[in-house]
Amino acid sequence: MSQHEPVIAIVGAGFGGLWAARALRGLMAKVVLIDRHNYHLFQPLLYQVAMAGLSPGDIAKTVREITRGQRNLEFRMAEVHGADLAEHRLDLSTGTLNYDYLILSVGSETNFFGLETVAEHAHGLKDITEAVGLRNHILSMFEQAAVEPDPEKRRAQLTFVVVGGGPTGVELSGAISELIRLVLVKDYPQLNFTDARVLLLEASDRVLAALPEPLRAATAETLWRKHVEVRFGAAVAGFDGQRVNLKGGEIIPAHTLIWCAGVRAEHLVDTLGLPQASQKRVRVEPTLQVPGHPEVLVIGDAAYLEENGQPLPMVAQVAMQQARLAAANIRHMLAGESLGSFHYHDLGTMATIGRNAAVALIGRLQFRGFLAWGMWLVVHILQLIGFRNRLLVLINWIWDYLFYERAVRLISEE
């Protein structure tokens, strides 16, 4: 490769970064894709790793394998600690990297809104380590409860509190309840399963706020049917690992709190001196460039851009569509052409609530129940990267559906 070829650095091999890298295929440039992990993770199925249904390897694939064959791309596994935007230089755990263009697609991290005890004791669900940690914890609670003589302590061990009624909280609470009532009930005949509770706490008065009322109502009703106690107007104030404190004074004895109540842009963006908006996302122009640095583009969860007066949602489709525009705009800059602006093409929203149950909004069409669940399964299988992963996930799902099992009920080393 010639020394005069521009260097395009991309930070993050998630939905934004990986799609941007692929869209730069064939360009006479050196594309350097950097991630702290050596794999791309399909986050929408992460909760199924936490619920013992899938193995981490089923929903992740190494970046080197995915990008194999893209000759202008080099992958580096490294943590990006900071950047000198004036000098066009990244500070990596493995050294420095000078770039001509930079795409930041660093995603988001859990936001505990300053609740220190919650941050210390609660479980999050953002990466494989957290998902496996949560799986180990839930299964360990059942092992402990099986030999716990004190009924009050046993009930607290078997009480699982999920906070946040967004898609992740809904999917996770439905899945925990099914794991308990369809699978673990067979493993622990000595336990009285009326002791086991799953609560979904939501501070507002609705779950899945982005969906229309009939789908929200159907979701809450389905959760109840699946034995999830949905509590509205319930805001968490603290958690010491044994008790959940609600604002207003109520205490729920529980050894498990899973925090799905918010995210914010990855903390790396706080160090760059760029203008930030809500959830610490970086304000970008419609071209996805940051003010004052036309060579820097921010995309995905870390970027803040409004459409029709509303911030774009932090979802995979936004990241992937922005990735394509970011790559196209870098091509335009190199060719001296004018740049395109971002317009989100909303392909729809869906969430599964467990076996045979999901809700979906596609355009103006609303779906629920078995049909929505079937759509959810197809969409997620198709979106997974790699034939092997698709096959493994499909086999697991069919097995679990037919035999009421979860394949990965291991309490493993983290």
Ligand X SMILES: Cc1cc2nc3c(=O)[nH]c(=O)nc-3n(C[C@H](O)[C@H](O)[C@H](O)COP(=O)(O)OP(=O)(O)OC[C@H]3O[C@@H](n4cnc5c(N)ncnc54)[C@H](O)[C@@H]3O)c2cc1C
Q: Which is nearer to ligand X, 79 or 337 (CB)?
A: 79
Whose tokens are 């060719």? That residue is 335
Q: Which is nearer to ligand X, 77 or 191 (CB)?
A: 77
Contact mark string toward ligand X, 254..293, x via CB under 6 A: ------------x-x-------------------------
The correct pick among 5, 6, 7, 36 for binding ligand X (CB under 6 A) is 36
Closest CA relative to residue 225, chosen from 183, 181, 185: 181
The correct pick among 8, 9, 17, 200 for binding ligand X (CB under 6 A) is 17
- Please tell me the number of Cα atoms within 13 Å of 128 on its side-chain side: 17
Contact call for residue 14 and ligand X (CB under 6 A): yes
Six-digit token string for 166: 């967004």
d(CA 34, CA 74): 9
Only segment of 103-111, 199-207, 211-219, 361-369 that touches ligand X (CB under 6 A): 103-111
Contact mark string toward ligand X, 383..412, x via CB under 6 A: ------------------------------
Query: H/E/C letters for each residue in the chain?
Result: CCCCCCEEEEECCCHHHHHHHHHCCCCCCEEEEEECCCEEECHHHHHHHHCCCCCHHHCEEEHHHHHCCCCCEEEEECCEEEEECCCCEEEECCEEEECCEEEECCCEEECCCCCHHHHHHCECCCCHHHHHHHHHHHHHHHHHHHCCCCHHHHHHHCEEEEECCCHHHHHHHHHHHHHHHHHHHHHCCCCCHHHCEEEEEECCCCCCCCCCHHHHHHHHHHHHHCCEEEEECCCEEEECCCEEEECCCCEEECCEEEECCCEEECHHHHHCCCCECHHHCEECCCCCEECCEEEEEECHHHEECEECCEECCCCHHHHHHHHHHHHHHHHHHHHCCCCCCCCCCCCCEEEEEECCEEEEEECCEEEEHHHHHHHHHHHHHHHCCCHHHHHHHHHHHHHHHHHCCCCCCCCCCC
Please confirm, yes or no, whether 171 is among the known catalytic residues.
yes
Contact call for residue 216 and ligand X (CB under 6 A): no
Q: To the nearest whole angstrom, how small is the minimum distance from the Cβ of residue 80 to ligand X?
A: 4
Q: Which is nearer to ligand X, 156 or 164 (CB)?
A: 164
Q: To the nearest whole angstrom, how small is the minimum distance from the Cβ of residue 148 to ligand X?
A: 30
Residues 108-167 interacting with ligand X (rule: CB under 6 A): 125-126, 167
Q: Which is nearer to ligand X, 90 or 201 (CB)?
A: 90
The correct pick among 10, 16, 58, 261 for binding ligand X (CB under 6 A) is 16
Q: Which is nearer to ligand X, 35 or 202 (CB)?
A: 35
Q: Which is nearer to ligand X, 171 or 178 (CB)?
A: 171
Q: Judge contact between 31 and 8, C-beta under 8 A.
A: yes
The correct pick among 48, 55, 105, 157 for binding ligand X (CB under 6 A) is 105
Total residues at the site for ligand X (CB under 6 A)? 34
Amino acid at position 82, single letter:
G
Residues 313-332 interacting with ligand X (rule: CB under 6 A): 314-317, 319
Six-digit token string for 83: 């950047």
Only segment of 9-17, 199-207, 210-218, 219-227 that touches ligand X (CB under 6 A): 9-17
Q: What is the CA radius of gyration of the chain?
A: 22
Q: Which is nearer to ligand X, 12 or 165 (CB)?
A: 12
Which residues are paired to 364 by β-bridges? none
Only segment of 14-22, 154-162, 216-224, 250-258 that touches ligand X (CB under 6 A): 14-22
The correct pick among 106, 156, 200, 215 for binding ligand X (CB under 6 A) is 106
Contact mark string toward ligand X, 47..86, x via CB under 6 A: x-------------------------------xx------
Only segment of 105-113, 147-155, 190-198, 210-218 that touches ligand X (CB under 6 A): 105-113
Residue nearest to ligand X (CB): 14
Which residue among the candidates 74, 79, 116, 171 is catalytic per the annotation? 171
Residues belonging to the active site: 171
Binding site for ligand X (CB under 6 A): 11-17, 34-37, 43-44, 46-47, 79-80, 105-107, 125-126, 167-168, 266, 268, 300-302, 314-317, 319
